[in-house]
């Protein structure tokens, strides 16, 4: 904001040029003219009114900006859903990584989202609500899905290598044929999940809940921190323990 200052009345022309050098007279004339201009303008009320109006317009702009923030957020979410829905059934990312992350950051539920076959490597969806989501055959290597709700999700043939699934809710999820090599599933809820033919080599199952699993032909070679009784139970229910080459 400009600070208006009342300028003192300048000297008359005759007083102003009393001690002026003739060679510098043009410059002094310009300076004298500007001093009188500043003197009159500093007393012009219209300029003061215009100054206040400019400040008021900025204030109004700020008010409108915040009042429309909800509409802008809705528009942003609508565009993100468009990206996700348009890319359904297609390989690659198609912008879905950014769209899903943006929606999750704004705490938008991703219930039932369809990203089957998508390339989602390294996606950050910590705490996401992916209840009944369809992520079949998706590439989720190195993904962060800690504390995510994936209950009853379709995860058949998904690649979860080195993914972070600690404390994730996977009850009733279909993880058949999924690749979970080196994944972190500590404290995950796997009750009732389908792990038939899944690759669980070197997976971390510390503190995981695992009752009512379907684990036939799942490879449990090198499982880390298995819950008490898990290995014996799994082998009794036709799991296998073998290197990939075998």
Q: What is the structure's pLDDT at 25?
A: 65
Q: What is the structure's pLDDT at 41?
A: 64
Q: What is the structure's pLDDT at 16?
A: 62
CA pair distance 137, 155, nearest whole angstrom: 7
pTM of this structure: 0.71
The whole-number mean pLDDT for each consecutive block of 10 residues of the chain, a chain of 246 residues, reads 60 65 66 70 63 72 64 87 90 90 95 95 97 97 98 98 98 98 98 97 97 96 97 97 73
DSSP-assigned letters across all residues of the chain: -----PPPPPPPHHHHTTT--GGGHHHHHHHHHHHHHHHHHTT-HHHHHHHHHHHHHHHHHHHHHHHTHHHHHHHHHHHHHHHHHHTTT--S-TTHHHHHHHHHHTT---TT-B-TT-B-TT-B-TT-B-TT-B-TT-B-TT-B-TT-B-TT-B-TT-B-TT-B-TT-B-TT-B-TT-B-TT-B-TT-B-TT-B-TT-B-TT-B-TT-B-TT-B-TT-B-TT-BSPPTTHHHHHHHTT-B---TT-
Domains of the chain listed by start with CATH number: 22-67 (no CATH), 78-246 (2.160.20.80)
- The residues, ordered by sequence, that sit 6+ positions from 128 with a Cβ below 8 Å of its Cβ are 100, 104, 110, 145, 148, 149
Nearest to 217 by CA among 195, 199, 239, 233: 239
CA pair distance 185, 164, nearest whole angstrom: 7
Half-sphere exposure of 105 (CA within 13 A, CB side): 12
Nearest to 133 by CA among 170, 103, 99: 170
């Amino acid at each position: 904001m400009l600070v208006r200052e009342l300028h003192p009345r300048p000297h008359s022309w005759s007083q102003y040029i009393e001690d002026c050098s003739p060679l510098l007279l043009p410059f002094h004339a310009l300076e004298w003219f500007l001093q009188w201009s500043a003197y009159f303008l500093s007393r012009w009320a219209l300029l003061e009114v215009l100054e206040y109006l400019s400040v008021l317009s900025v204030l109004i702009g700020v008010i409108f900006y915040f009042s429309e923030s909800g509409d802008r957020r809705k528009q942003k979410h609508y565009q993100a859903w468009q990206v996700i829905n348009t890319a359904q059934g297609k390989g690659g990312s198609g912008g879905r990584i950014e769209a899903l992350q943006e929606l999750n950051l704004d705490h938008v539920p991703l219930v039932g989202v369809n990203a089957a076959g998508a390339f989602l490597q390294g996606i950050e969806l910590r705490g996401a609500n992916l209840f009944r989501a369809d992520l079949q055959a998706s590439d989720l290597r190195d993904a962060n899905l800690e504390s995510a709700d994936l209950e009853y999700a379709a995860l058949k043939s998904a690649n979860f290598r080195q993914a972070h699934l600690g404390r994730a809710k996977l009850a009733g999820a279909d993880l058949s044929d999924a690749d979970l090599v080196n994944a972190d599933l500590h404290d995950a809820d796997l009750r009732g999940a389908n792990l038939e033919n899944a690759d669980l080599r070197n997976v971390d199952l510390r503190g995981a809940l695992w009752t009512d699993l379907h684990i036939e032909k799942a490879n449990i070679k090198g499982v880390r921190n298995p819950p008490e009784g898990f290995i014996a139970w799994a082998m009794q229910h036709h799991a296998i323990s073998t290197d990939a080459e075998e």
